Amino acid sequence: MIRVRGVSRTFVEARTSARVPALDGFELEVSRGEFLAILGPSGCGKSTLLRLLAGFDRADAGLVEVDGAPVTAISPRRLLVSQDPALFPWLTAAENIGFGLRAQGRADPARVEALLVEFGLAGAGGRYPRELSGGMRQRVALARALAVRPDVLLLDEPFGALDALSRESMQALLEATWLASGATVVLVTHSVDEALRLADRVVVVSPRPARVVGSVVVESARPRRAGSHPELRERLMGWAVP
């Protein structure tokens, strides 16, 4: 379980030296195995929250806990995937996917091969990132994260830069792999439709400093159709656009 209690994080703007609070007393709980989507305006502190959960950054105050243990460092148990896939350009797609396994001394070519097939990358395993499309690069990034079987997958607008068709197929792929893995997923997105299609629960956060202004549980069966739940959509939009 993820528990965020009274978390504050303030940044100092380089140009003006002004203190900018990204999070101020933020509260959130995510159950083990839950798929949570966070909706909010740009620059509201959503990414800061994910970086705190991943251990990339430290809170100024408050508690960030995963399974009862405070988050104090980066760990492969909590994998962060961003809009920039940050693939290693000197490694092929297959080598990128296998990087985490190799780094942990658990090289597993069969698993890498299976992930390549599962993520629609069969035949592209020998290509370098610059030889892949944006959608394929994002598939590699997601496969690389899932290869190490994390307990928590933190997704920071991972499909934000993709075209509509790639986005659609990535959403289906994410849903299928999440259902199979049982990992806890926290997805930050700008898309209400994406949140409603994928998440068990959607929370809406306010402009900076972020605080939760509303939350809905999405109970319908999977796989869900795009554009379903018009009533939930309306509620979410009501919170998102005051």
Partner 1 sequence: MRLLLLLLALWEVAGRVWPPGPLVPLPSAIVLDAASLLASGELFVHVLRSAVRVALGGGVGAGVGVLVGVALAAGGPGRLFDVPVALARPIPSLAWIPLTLLWFGVGEGQQIAILALATFGVVVAGTRDAIGAVPTAWLQAAENLGASRGARLGVRAQAALPGVLASVAEGFAAAWFVLVAAEFVSATEGLGVLVLAGRDLILPARTFVGAAGLAASAGLTAWALRALRGRLTRWA
Distance CA 121, CA 136 (A): 7
Among 20, 91, 161, 213, binds partner 1 (CB under 8 A): 91
Looking at beta carbons only, is 40 or 100 nearer to partner 1? Answer: 100
Contact between 35 and partner 1 by CB under 8 A: the answer reads no
> Which range binds partner 1 by CB under 8 A, 4-12, 143-151, 163-171, 172-180?
143-151
Give yes or no for residue 90 binding partner 1 (CB under 8 A). yes
Structure tokens at 83: 């809009």
Q: 29: helix, coil or strand?
A: strand
Q: Would you say 188 or 204 has its CB closer to partner 1?
A: 188
Residues, the chain: 242
Residue numbers 209-238 binding partner 1 by CB under 8 A: none
Structure tokens at 110: 């069969």
C-alpha to C-alpha distance for 141 and 101, rounded to whole angstroms: 14
DSSP bridge partners of 15: none
Cβ 157 to partner 1, closest distance in Å? 14
Which residue, 75, 163, 231, 236, is CA-closest to 171? 163
* CA angle (202, 207, 208) in 5-degree steps: 115
Binding mask 46-85 for partner 1 (x = CB under 8 A): --------x-x-----------------xxx-xxx-x-x-
**Closer CB to partner 1, 5 or 128, in the complex:** 128
User: What is the Cα–Cα distance from 45 to 30, expressed in whole angstroms?
Assistant: 17
* CB closer to partner 1 out of 86 and 114: 86
Quick one: 130 or 225, whose CB is closer to partner 1?
130
Piece of 21-29, 96-104, 111-119, 209-217 that binds partner 1 (CB under 8 A) = 96-104
Q: Considering the complex, what minimum distance in angstroms separates the CB of residue 93 from partner 1? A: 11
Query: What are the backbone dihedrals phi and psi of residue 240, each rounded to the nearest 5 degrees, phi first?
Result: -75, -35
Q: Which two tokens stand for residue 40?
A: 């909010």
* Residue given tokens 């959509």 in the structure block: 233
CA 98 to chain centre: 20
Catalog residues that contact partner 1 under the rule CB under 8 A: 54, 56, 74-76, 78-80, 82, 84, 86, 88-91, 99-100, 103-104, 128-130, 144-145, 148
